[in-house]
Chain A
Amino acid sequence: MARLGRPEPLRDQECSGFSSGNSALDAWLKKSANKAQKLNTAKVYVVSDENKVVGYYAIASASIVRDALPTKVQSELPRHPVPGLLLARLAVDSNYQNQGIGRALVRDAVSKALSIQQLVGAAVLLVHSKDEEANRFYVSLGFEPSPGDRHLLCLYLNT
């Protein structure tokens, strides 16, 4: 197994060769991740072998909103949105898959989510899974499909 550094914020690590098999996730790391990091629209953490990025994830704030129809508003009390965090993207380079790096990145994201929760409050860590394989991965780790949207996966943070 490669000698990996622990996840660190994206700075100037080498991303150009990153290839996870998902072109949207690869392109985002190469073209948009630095911008997101600077504009604070998301924070990006990478795990590197030497200085070469072999896995990454992005985490951001998110919210779940009760989509009530206006006609129902009179009869029901308004509910505040549920504050959450979003594990927006996570990918591992093809040459490094099946070594537990993805799972370990989720663990790192969860421990960061718990720290963030202590500081600002957050009830849930969300993942919007794009396909069945991603769905199975997160469910196997303990995420639960949200009521009403089985591709929106939840890890509830209140303990």
Chain B
Amino acid sequence: MAKNERLDLRVTSDQKRLLQQAANLKGETVSDFVLSSAMASADEALLDQRVFLLEPEAFDQLVTRSEDVVKNKAAIDKILAIKTPWQD
């Protein structure tokens, strides 16, 4: 994907030196090092999320959708019909 966006950071000289040293050790530019480290942390943060906030309108739509038991059962049955590569 094209990198069309910019992210500017203000850091102390100590922080910059540390990032520079770490990036040098891994043979990366400071920019690549900061980005890959931050992306890994972002992945972790999203994977740990347990509470999901929805706008009132979206929440109400979800509740209404959840009550369509015929549609629900069809989707569940389709998944339960998946063949497993192990013995059940």
From B13-21, B26-34, B38-46, the one touching the partner chain is B38-46
Chain A to chain B: the 5 pairs with minimum beta-carbon distance, closest first: A148-B58, A147-B61, A24-B43, A67-B53, A142-B75
Q: How far is the CA of A156 from the CA of B49 in the complex (A)?
A: 19
- Cross-chain contact of B59 among A64, A99, A123 (Cβ < 8 A): A64
The A-B contact count (CB < 8 A) is 152
- Cross-chain contact of A124 among B58, B60, B66 (Cβ < 8 A): B66
Contact B86 A47 (CB under 8 A): yes
A38 in the interface, Cβ–Cβ < 8 Å?
Answer: no
- Cross-chain contact of A147 among B49, B50, B65, B80 (Cβ < 8 A): B65
**Min CB gap B18→A, angstroms:** 22
- Asked whether A148 and B54 contact (CB < 8 A) given A124-B66, A141-B79, the answer is yes
Contact A99 B85 (CB under 8 A): yes
Q: Residue of B at shortest CB range from A155?
A: B75
**Min CB gap A73→B, angstroms:** 10
Q: How many residues of A contact B (CB 8 A)?
A: 60
A154 in the interface, Cβ–Cβ < 8 Å?
Answer: yes
Contact B82 A107 (CB under 8 A): yes
Q: Residue of A at shortest CB range from B68?
A: A156
Q: How many residues of B contact A (CB 8 A)?
A: 41
User: Which A residues fall within an 8 A CB radius of B?
Assistant: 1, 4-7, 22-25, 27-28, 47, 60-68, 72, 76, 79, 81-82, 86, 88-89, 99-101, 103-104, 106-108, 110-111, 114, 123-124, 126, 128, 130, 141-144, 146-149, 152, 154-159
**Min CB gap B44→A, angstroms:** 6
What A residues does B2 contact at CB under 8 A? none
What A residues does B56 contact at CB under 8 A? 66-68, 72, 76
B67 in the interface, Cβ–Cβ < 8 Å?
Answer: yes
What B residues does A144 contact at CB under 8 A? 65, 75
B6 in the interface, Cβ–Cβ < 8 Å?
Answer: no
What B residues does A88 contact at CB under 8 A? 47-48
